[in-house]
Amino acid sequence: MTQEFSLQHIIREPKIKSDNAPVLIMLHGYGSDENDLFSFASELPEELFIISVKAPYKMQPYGNAWYAIHWDNNDGKFSDDLQAIKSRETIKDFIGEVIKNYPVDPENINLLGFSQGSILSYAVALSYPEFINNVVALSGYVNQGILKDGFENNDFSNLDFYCSHGSVDQVIPVDWARKTKPFLDNLNIKNAYSEFPVGHGVAPQNFFELKEWLKNRI
């Protein structure tokens, strides 16, 4: 990896060669790595330049995180929002590095996040909508504590979200995810929200739906 990038990543170049490819940046969940979401890259539209990123915080004994989750005997678990904000900024910088170093279309930047990666996808897109077109947010929610101050004044006209959640998710309660659509609607942001009868994961029909959604927008 050259020093031009602030985050480690792996890539799948488009099957159809292009100097101006739409790009999909994948952000994995807590305790995982860049190989996780990349495993279904071959199933996604061939024209996409796919970049799967490794989160910056190493976990023991293995895996990575975008921010720490602390367990507290009194209050359950809580997120390290300062680390999350730092990751939000790192991802924003990384998008600039991608545009500079890869043959991608700067006007067609798409994010796909799962769980913690989905929470960061919301944060980056809502804080910096000028950089992002479409967001696939799987099994996550909007953490307003990590959005940039004044984000509600941004121009969201180019943004579109596909959000999904498992109705029996045991990691991130579905009630948290159900607040997403009204939140985005209130900001007049285009969005779709789906639920599937699974836990903290992506059902086959969920994958088919997000793939179609993405194909229609790139």
Q: What is the mean pLDDT of residues 192-214?
A: 95
pLDDT in tens, 104-118: 999 999 999 999 999
If phi > 0 it is left, if psi is from -120 to 50 it is alpha, else beta; for residue 188 that is: left
Q: Can you tell me the distance from the alpha carbon of 149 to that of 140, in angstroms, rounded to the nearest whole number?
A: 21
What is the dihedral sign for C-alpha 142, 87, 145, 33? positive
Q: Is 206 among the domain residues?
A: no
Q: Is 166 among the domain residues?
A: no
Q: Is 36 among the domain residues?
A: yes
Local structure of 22: helix, strand or coil? strand
For the cut 50, the answer to whether the pLDDT of residue 1 exceeds it is no
Rg from Cα positions in the chain: 16
Number of domains the chain is built from: 1
CA 91 to chain centroid:
10
74 Cβ neighbours under 8 A, 6+ residues apart: none
Domain around 147: 9-157
Q: What is the pLDDT of residue 76?
A: 59
16 Cβ neighbours under 8 A, 6+ residues apart: 46, 47
**Contact indicator for 34, 8 with CB cutoff of 8 Å:** yes
pLDDT in tens, 30-87: 999 999 999 999 999 999 999 999 999 999 888 999 999 877 655 656 788 999 999 9
Q: Is 151 among the domain residues?
A: yes
Q: Is 108 among the domain residues?
A: yes
Q: Is 191 among the domain residues?
A: no
Q: Is 139 among the domain residues?
A: yes
DSSP 126-174: HH-GGG-SEEEEES----GGGSPTTGGGS--TT-EEEEEEETT-SSS-H
Average per-residue pLDDT in the chain? Answer: 94
What CATH number should be reported for the domain holding residue 134?
Answer: 3.40.50.1820
Structure tokens at 83: 């680390």
Q: Is 53 among the domain residues?
A: yes
The share of the chain scoring above pLDDT 90, in percent, equals 88
Q: What is the mean pLDDT of residues 169-183?
A: 96
